[in-house]
Chains A and B, each alone.
Chain A
Amino acid sequence: MKNFLIDTLTVFNRDWIVLKRRLTKFILSRMVAPILYLVAFGWGLGRSIDFAGGSYIDFLVPGILALNSMNIAFNSITPVHAERIYHRSLEEYILAPIVPESFVAGKILAAILRSMISSAIILILAWIFGARIDLTPIFLIALILNSIIFAGIGFLAAMKIDTYEEMAQVNTYILLPMSFLCGTFFRTSTLPDFVRFAIELLPLTHTSYLLRDPNSISLAILILYSIAILILSFRAFRKLTD
């Protein structure tokens, strides 16, 4: 256990060194999409929407947070693909006497950090735009679980996929549809039952639900997704080292 923690910290620290060096660029680039969403959907479209007496921007911000943490966590991990296929620097970890799971844990921890920094930026921007969000512990847990799930999906893709093109397709076929369908911009209750059922199988939907309204079903689903994806990620990396 001690070695697992030390090795996890070593892997995490490598990503922290790289992030620290690019922190200003990272923060600035993370501001662009939320500002566009807040201006276009919050100020622009949102002012003409009567949202059951509430403010559309208050509804929108948790959706943007879920969407953003999904993208950031996934994209934080995808460089592992280049490390495995092109630079082959992943061999450094495969040839090291570390607990294999610590590599996955360190990478996912770094993805969570990036996702949290990015979420904090959105919350500040949203506050400037007039949104009022209740920050509860469950809010933070939802974001962390969402980051684990999508960092894990990114990790699995990086382990299984062999070309850049196919990596880009994960974005097109998995992340992009979820971005628009999983209750980010609208209530899923307005959708036909069979569509809603399919959408409620997806983790991002439950992150949006949980960020808007704490409920034990969404929390349980996100926990189950996190555990399953972590196990699959551990197995995928172990396969490289066995």
Chain B
Amino acid sequence: MIIKLQNLTKIFENKIAVDNLNLEIDRGEILGLLGINGAGKTTTIRMLTLQTQPTSGRFFYFDDSKQIDSREKILSMIGVVPQHLNFDQDLTVRENLELHAKLHHVKNFRERIDELLKFVELEKVGNSNVKKLSGGMKRRLLIIRALIHHPQILFLDEPTVALDPQVRRKIWELVKNLDATIILTTHYIEEAESLCDRVAILDNGKLIALDSPQNLKKIFEQKNLEEVFLKLTSKS
């Protein structure tokens, strides 16, 4: 186990965004958080990535079964790919990556950046301003930026939103081959089905199903995960 969520709850004014979430995430697994808009996926990720405090409940990070307490250590072991393109607009592709590397105290980052740019075929645009990249290029750049410091856990919040199928496929191929625990949210259920070891379906902040896509299909007697999802979330 690498993360444990215990009664995790977030309330915004009068709305319960995440309701008493209990979950254990295993090292090396790909876990999909699925749910309709407002189900609590992004809020869960924001809590786990220390961007917002839980209203109640707790979560724990583990490294070799030792609990990690410090904010700095947790931030060193995670990588975050947000839903929005949050690059520094005044910097080039390479400068954005270098800034991230320095903020994460990465040594020999130039080689690492070259390697990652090559990995996602962006080496030719290294010196271009980020504003000049296409949507697909920006998404790939977001992913490699989060990988520079070799995170043990990668959070991906809608990494393929608004992308065409070819680019989506490329990004999922990239994600599948990463050597990290991956927690992702997506609206593309069929893609989650082929990629994730387990999926957690959230509805109104509550965890309503958690299992492998195969088991969920069996339990709910549906031929694909999308139908399981529709069946479970139909009331919402």
Contact = CB atoms under 8 A, between A and B. Distances in A.
Given A17-B95, A18-B91, A91-B51, A97 B75 contact: yes
A89 interface: yes
23 contacts: A3-B105, A6-B105, A7-B103, A14-B88, A14-B95, A17-B91, A18-B90, A18-B91, A88-B82, A89-B89, A91-B86, A92-B88, A92-B99, A93-B103, A94-B51, A95-B49, A95-B51, A95-B75, A96-B103, A97-B71, A97-B73, A97-B75, A97-B103
Contacts, number: 61
B27 interface: no
Interface of A: 3, 6-7, 10, 13-14, 17-18, 83, 87-89, 91-98, 241-242
Contacts of A97: 71-73, 75-76, 103-105
A74 B147 CA distance: 35
Nearest first, the 9 A-B pairs at minimum CB distance are A96-B103, A97-B72, A97-B75, A88-B86, A10-B102, A18-B90, A97-B76, A89-B88, A89-B86
Nearest to B53: A242
Interface in B1-51: 49-51
Given A17-B95, A92-B103, A95-B49, A87 B75 contact: no
Nearest to A242: B53
B58 interface: no
B79 to A, nearest CB: 9
A18 B53 CA distance: 33
B87 interface: yes
Contact of B82 (A18, A91, A96): A91
Given A92-B86, A95-B75, 13 more contacts: A10-B102, A18-B90, A88-B86, A91-B51, A91-B80, A91-B86, A92-B100, A92-B103, A93-B103, A96-B103, A97-B75, A241-B50, A242-B53
A242 B84 CA distance: 21
A10 B109 CA distance: 14
B88 A87 contact: yes
Contacts of A10: 99, 102-103
A3 B51 CA distance: 22
Interface string B99-114: 1101111000000000
Contacts of A92: 86, 88, 99-100, 103
